[in-house]
Every structure is written in C-alpha cells, then in structure tokens.
Amino acid sequence: MKNSVILSRQETDKQFEYMERVREVVGGGKVFIQTFGCQQNVSDSERLLGMAEKMGFKKTTVPEEADLILVNTCAVREHAELKALSITGGYKHCKEKKPSLIIGICGCMVSQEHRLEDIKKRYPYIDFLLGTTLMHRFPEILYGVIADKERRFWIDNDISVISEGLPVSREPGAPEAMVSIMYGCDNFCTYCIVPYVRGRERSREPEAVIEEVRSLISSGVKEITLLGQNVNSYRPVGRDGYGFAGLLGDICSLEGEAVIHFMTSHPKDATYELIDVMAANPPESGRVGISRRFHLPLQSGSDRILKLMNRRYTAAHYLSLVDYMRKRIPGIAITTDIIVGFPGETEEDFSATLDMLSRVGYDNIYSFIYSKRVGTPAAEMKDQIPEDVKKERFSRLIQLQSRISKDKNQIYVGKRVRALVEGRSKTDKDKFTARTETNRLVHFDGEDGLTGKYVTLYIEGAESHMLYGRLSEADEGDILI
C-alpha cells in the first residue's frame, strides 16, 4: 500500500500526448485485441482499446486485417500461458504478409522475467512486451516502437499505480459493464502467481468509483460488476474504517435502477457487515441493489491444505459465513473455486473438499487442477501430486458437483424466473439465452428485440448447466430468484 500512487495528472497528460503523436504518425488503422484469463484482464483490455481508439485505431475481430495486434495474457495456470503462446505464434504469418503490422503482448504472462526473456529471444516478430503494472504507458511504448523502429520490453513489478483518467472503451449499448475498484493482491496464497505480476493491493478513491458507476447507470447499463483480485479487501488510503461494505452502501444509494455484482472475494475478508449490506439492498425495480450471488473461493476443504496454501481461514469459518449468508439472504447463489492436487494433498484431504461441496451445496464451482507456477512457494514443495491422480480426483469432483447443480436446478422446474436476455445462444442460433439473478443460464425461444431486456421465463426443464424455459406473461406461479 505504501508504494501505491494515483497516476499523476502529469503522467496522464503525457500519455494523452503520446496518443496524439501516434495518431499523427499512424493516421488510422485497425486494432485486434485477444484477451485471455479473468474479468480483470477483460477490463484491462477495455482500457487498452480505449487508448487505441484515441490513437485513431478502429477495432477489428479479424487479426489478418489488423495494423496493431495486442495479446493480453494470463499466467494463473500453465495451460493459459501455452495457449497464449501458441496463438501468438499464429500471428507470425500476419506479419509476413504485412510487415508494417505491430504486435504487442501485455498482461500477467509477460510480467514474469523468465517468460519475457524467452519471448524476446524466440519470437523476434513481437514488437513490444508490456507488464500489467505499466499498462497505462501503452501509448508511450507504442510510440517508441513506431518512432525508433526498435523493439521494447517493459516490466516493473515493484510499482503500484492506480490509473485514473485514461480512456476506457466498452461495448456500446451493452447492458452489462465492469468497473475495477482495486488492483493487485497482497495475500500470497502459496500456489498463486498474481501477487508477483499484479503488484501490491491498491484501492481507487470511492468518489472516482461512485462517479463511474453513476455515469454507467445513467447511460442505461443494467448490471455492473465491481472488480478486484481481492475485491472485499477494498481499502482506500486515508479513509479510516471505510471499506467494501461502505462502498456498496454508497453505490446502492445512487439514483436509477441497476444490479451490482462483485468479484472476487476472499473468505478472510468477507465480513458480516458486508453480508448485512447485501441483505439490506436487494435488487428491486426502480433502485440500485446488490445481486443475490456470492462467489467465495474455498480452494480446499482440508484445514491442513488451507494452511499450506496460506489461505488464513478454516473450513469451519467458511461454513459459518455460508450459514450467515443463507440466513440473511434466502435463495442466495453461492459459487466457488477449487484447486485439486495441491502438493501434499492426500485422499483424506480431498475427501474433505468433496464433503464441503455437499455441505455447502454450491450452485456452481470452477475447478482447477493445480499448476506449478515458477517463483511461488508451492512450486518448491515436496510431494507434488502425479498428473494421473490429479486428473482422477478432478473428474470425481466434477461428477459430484454436476449432481449437486442438477438437483439445485430442478427446483426451478415449474417455477418462473426473472432474467436478463443476453442474445442468441452460442450453441443454438435458433434459441436465446438469458441469465437469472442467481447466474443460471436459460435457453428459450425469443426475438432480437429482447436482447438487453429483463424477461420473465417459465422453466420447463433443467440440466446441470442449463435451464430450459419459455416467455411467461401470465401469472403462472411463484417467481424464484
């Protein structure tokens, strides 16, 4: 925290100058941005696009058409890194066809020294690498590459900047938007690379966050996700006692109508006060409220493994939070992240995780096979679990959750739900999908005019990952959240 600074007006002005200079020398062109990883990365890409548009680039979804390709990478698991590297490799042919093309890689993967060195040597057609904490200097690095015709590689994992005042480009007319409220992570869970590549925790000033949310609501955005690697440890400098619960309360007193989501929370920072603020502010028509969803990563159900992971809570504490949430907010959807095969995980530890799945009755889980990350303490731990054991446990975990999710979804059959229409289904173009307040997807027969609107749907069928329904105008029974 002590090193975190809000980007100075001078620095912002400097970047705007670089944007202008790039605009002058490039004079237009197209930008293609490929994003990997979490919502934070999606949000960072909106900022990169905002700056690119200010520099005169227009967005394209076809890499072969682009004059500038940006790959925003993730480093949380090896799989994400390998995918980003292989896709980047594929852009070599674009450069061969169009030598003036500029390719830059940003984000968490290139913020690691060993990856930076590797890409520098093995990918000579990559023009620049830009670390996560330096993303605000994108105009400057791009200008340098163009003006000096030289490759640039910038990372600095010791600085912690909050970039206010730079352009953000969001999907025009989209009913959903994301707002970053804090950056970085100080938790140092022993398996995780994030604290090394995203710097120290730093929170934006509440006034800046509230103003951004207010302006999104007044422009018609209906659902807003507040983002942070550890969102509930939001703590702006010099505002003693003001934390995430306070911020949510202030956002809920804004004029207008919207639903607020937030992610990702850490169980050690999930307070009863936060749950009380959620309980007091349900989403209702005509006002700003908080969604009935809580994503609370458990990671493991074994206290022994939680300790080795440096998570700083016990399974019992976690369960007490769940109990309180269910008591204060009936019907709340609880989801989690689970890591399978952390070093030293025994069959007994794994059973404790399965047991937690049954006891909590999650609406959904995001499960991951443990992946060794260079430089993290867990990568050095003895008793790394063999791949086949990890895979076998992973499949048992998925099977159990599939049954739990299906049972929970069955409750909706014969009931009605309110849901926000997202558009045509990605898997079946004749159907539409809508998302319910508890984050369930519903397939139904709709029409294009409904996209971005709330509808009431009567549920006729349910599987583990999907509800099936139809539009329901008449009073056909209870509406569930």
Q: Which is nearer to ligand SF4, 29 or 297 (CB)?
A: 297
- Token digits for 122? 């093995």
φ, ψ at 378 (rounded to 5°): -65, -25
Nearest to 275 by CA among 286, 262, 288: 262
Q: Which is nearer to ligand SF4, 91 or 313 (CB)?
A: 313
Which residues, 6+ apart, have CB-to-CB distance to 188 below 8 Å?
A: 195, 310
Angle at 24 between CA 20 and CA 27, to 5 degrees: 115
Per partner kind, with CB cut-offs from 5 to 8 A, the member of ligand 5AD, ligand SF4, none near residue 370 is: ligand 5AD
Place of tokens 């009863």: 272
Euclidean distance between the first and the last CA atom of the chain, given in angstroms as a whole number? 39
Q: Is 191 in the site for ligand 5AD (CB under 6 A)?
A: yes
Place of tokens 């090896």: 78
Q: Which is nearer to ligand SF4, 19 or 185 (CB)?
A: 185
Q: Which is nearer to ligand 5AD, 383 or 448 (CB)?
A: 383
DSSP lists the bridge partners of residue 336 as 365
> Is-contact 306 299, C-beta < 8 A?
yes
Q: Is 36 in the site for ligand 5AD (CB under 6 A)?
A: no
Q: Is 296 in the site for ligand SF4 (CB under 6 A)?
A: no
Minimum distance of ligand SF4 from residue 185's CB (angstroms): 3
Q: Which is nearer to ligand SF4, 266 or 293 (CB)?
A: 266
Minimum distance of ligand SF4 from residue 195's CB (angstroms): 5
Give all strands (DSSP E) within 228-290, no chain letters: 258-263, 288-290
Q: Is 230 in the site for ligand SF4 (CB under 6 A)?
A: yes
Q: Is 189 in the site for ligand SF4 (CB under 6 A)?
A: yes
Q: Is 185 in the site for ligand SF4 (CB under 6 A)?
A: yes
Determine the distance from the C-alpha atom of residue 115 to the mean position of all C-alpha atoms in its chain, rounded to a whole number: 23
Minimum distance of ligand SF4 from residue 74's CB (angstroms): 12
If residue 402 lies in a helix (H) or strand (E), which one and from where to where?
helix 387-410
Q: Is 229 in the site for ligand SF4 (CB under 6 A)?
A: yes
Give all strands (DSSP E) within 66-143, no chain letters: 68-73, 102-107, 128-130
If residue 307 lies in a helix (H) or strand (E), which one and from where to where?
helix 303-308
Minimum distance of ligand 5AD from residue 353's CB (angstroms): 12
Among 48, 168, 178, 192, binds ligand 5AD (CB under 6 A): 192
> Which spans in 130-266 are helix H?
138-148, 194-197, 206-218, 244-252
Q: How many residues bind ligand SF4 (CB under 6 A)?
A: 10
Q: Which is nearer to ligand 5AD, 334 or 339 (CB)?
A: 339
Q: Which is nearer to ligand 5AD, 95 or 372 (CB)?
A: 372
Per DSSP, the three-state class of 53 is helix
Q: Which is nearer to ligand SF4, 15 or 376 (CB)?
A: 376
Minimum distance of ligand 5AD from residue 37's CB (angstroms): 9
Q: Is 187 in the site for ligand SF4 (CB under 6 A)?
A: yes
**Footprint (CB under 6 A) of ligand SF4, residues 238-267:** 266
Q: Omega into 61 within 30° of 0, i.e. cis? A: no
Residue 391: how many other CB atoms lie within 10 Å: 14
Q: Is 195 in the site for ligand SF4 (CB under 6 A)?
A: yes
Contacts of the segment 86-95: beta carbons below 8 A, 24+ positions apart: 87/34, 88/123, 88/126, 89/123, 91/63, 91/125, 92/125, 94/63, 94/64, 94/66, 94/69, 95/125
Per partner kind, with CB cut-offs from 5 to 8 A, the member of ligand SF4, ligand 5AD, none near residue 185 is: ligand SF4
Among 47, 54, 77, 408, binds ligand 5AD (CB under 6 A): 77
Calpha distance 276→269 (Å, rounded): 14
Among 297, 301, 343, 469, binds ligand 5AD (CB under 6 A): 297
Given the rule CB under 6 A, which residues bind ligand 5AD? 76-77, 191-192, 297, 299, 337, 339, 368, 370-371, 373
Given the rule CB under 6 A, which residues bind ligand SF4? 185, 187-189, 192, 194-195, 229-230, 266
